[in-house]
């Protein structure tokens, strides 16, 4: 069975306008509404993973996610490791990911206490379409402004906000921070704060055939580029989890079912995955 998925709109103060266009949503008419920051594309309580699109007009908070063990004890949840595929970015836009080599737990703790600009303690990576990053639990990070990306992650919503750019809402109130828990779970070891650890890749949309991006106990992630008329097949008989597809660009046929750009499907009880490109494009395969 091929299950068509209906996205869930998530509005954020840092959201943008791109997802309205990508997804064909009606333009917002209510001035009081926050813009669309995320659309949850693959989300089911029975799945160990989820996938979403994110679009930003402002920086996200600097944050960190706990690992499985800490999350089970403190949140009764799984942890959260995630991956990003950059779809669009204005020149100079980038992400904050990992701590600079000199930043110890005490350095970060003191900077927070003194209300310093915490982004200055993180590595900044300018990004372009086709870049990939693996963001492990324990990795401090923030998505910068003017970026549109696809995110695949463990099925967990546990986020600890470290610092929020000293932002205030319309009532003059700042969002809640989770400093103590953040300091508990941030990985300060320099070898886990490098581009190699974050598995940075480039120009994914130019790769030929399927490329594995991430192998995690809760999800495996592949990217597949197909030219118009090309096909791809994979045996699913030995895969124990449902397989999902997040279509990034170009109409495709999935087991003879049409899937539009920026849409998602999940395959349940299917022994074969068969994809044919109606148009040249790119998709993510998750299982």
Overall average pLDDT of the 157-168 stretch:
94
pLDDT of residue 91: 97
pLDDT tens digits, 74-90? 999 999 999 999 999 99
Overall average pLDDT of the 7-21 stretch:
95
CATH for the 59-192 domain, from 2.60.120.10, 2.40.110.10, 1.10.357.10, 3.30.465.10: 2.60.120.10
Domain ranges of the chain: 59-192, 205-286
Contact of 62 with 164, CB cutoff 8 Å? yes
User: Which fold does the domain 205-286 belong to in CATH?
Assistant: Jelly Rolls (2.60.120)
- The CA distance from 120 to 142, in Å, is 12
The single residue of 72, 161, 175, 200 carrying the catalytic annotation is: 161
Q: What is the pTM of this model?
A: 0.95
Paired tokens of 180: 């103590």
Is the fold of 59-192 the same as that of 205-286?
Answer: yes
Question: Which residue blocks in 48-200 are alpha helix, DSSP H?
Answer: 68-75, 105-113, 179-185
pLDDT of residue 170: 74
User: Does the pLDDT value for residue 17 go beyond 70?
Assistant: yes
Paired tokens of 30: 């209510």
User: Does the pLDDT value for residue 29 go beyond 60?
Assistant: no
Pairing of strands 219-226, 209-216: antiparallel
pLDDT tens digits, 84-132? 999 999 999 999 999 999 999 999 999 999 999 999 999 999 999 999 9
Overall average pLDDT of the 262-274 stretch:
96
| Between residues 31 and 25, the one the model is more confident about | 25
What is the layout of strands, in order, in the sheet containing 62-64?
Answer: 122-126, 94-99, 141-143, 62-64, 160-163
- The CA distance from 2 to 19, in Å, is 24
pLDDT of residue 31: 57
Overall average pLDDT of the 242-249 stretch:
98
Residue 161 annotated among the catalytic residues of the structure: yes
User: Does the pLDDT value for residue 33 go beyond 90?
Assistant: no
């Amino acid at each position: 069975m091929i299950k068509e998925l209906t996205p869930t709109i998530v509005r954020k103060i840092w959201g943008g306008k791109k997802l309205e266009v990508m997804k064909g949503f009606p333009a917002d008419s209510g001035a009081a509404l926050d813009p669309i920051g995320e659309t949850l594309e693959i989300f089911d309580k029975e799945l160990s993973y989820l996938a979403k699109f994110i679009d930003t007009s402002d920086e996200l908070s600097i944050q960190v996610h706990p690992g499985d063990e800490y999350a089970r004890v403190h949140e009764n949840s799984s942890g959260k490791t995630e991956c990003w595929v950059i779809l669009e970015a204005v020149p100079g836009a980038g992400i904050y990911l990992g701590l600079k080599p000199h930043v110890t737990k005490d350095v970060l703790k003191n900077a927070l206490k003194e209300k310093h600009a915490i982004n200055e303690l993180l590595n900044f990576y300018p990004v372009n379409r086709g870049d990939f990053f693996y963001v492990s639990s324990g990795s401090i990070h923030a998505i910068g402004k003017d970026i549109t990306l696809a995110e695949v992650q463990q099925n967990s919503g546990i986020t600890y906000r470290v610092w929020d750019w000293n932002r205030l809402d319309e009532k003059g109130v700042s969002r809640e921070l989770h400093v103590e828990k953040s300091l508990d779970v941030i990985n300060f070891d320099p070898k886990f704060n490098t581009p190699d650890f974050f598995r940075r890749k480039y120009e994914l949309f130019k790769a030929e055939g399927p490329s594995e991006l991430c192998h995690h106990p809760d999800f495996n992630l592949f990217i597949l580029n197909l030219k118009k008329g090309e096909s791809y097949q994979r045996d699913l008989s030995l895969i124990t989890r449902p397989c999902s597809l997040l279509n990034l660009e170009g109409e495709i046929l999935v087991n003879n079912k049409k899937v539009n750009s920026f849409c998602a499907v999940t395959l349940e009880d299917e022994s074969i995955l068969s994809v044919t490109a109606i148009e040249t494009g790119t998709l993510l395969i998750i299982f």
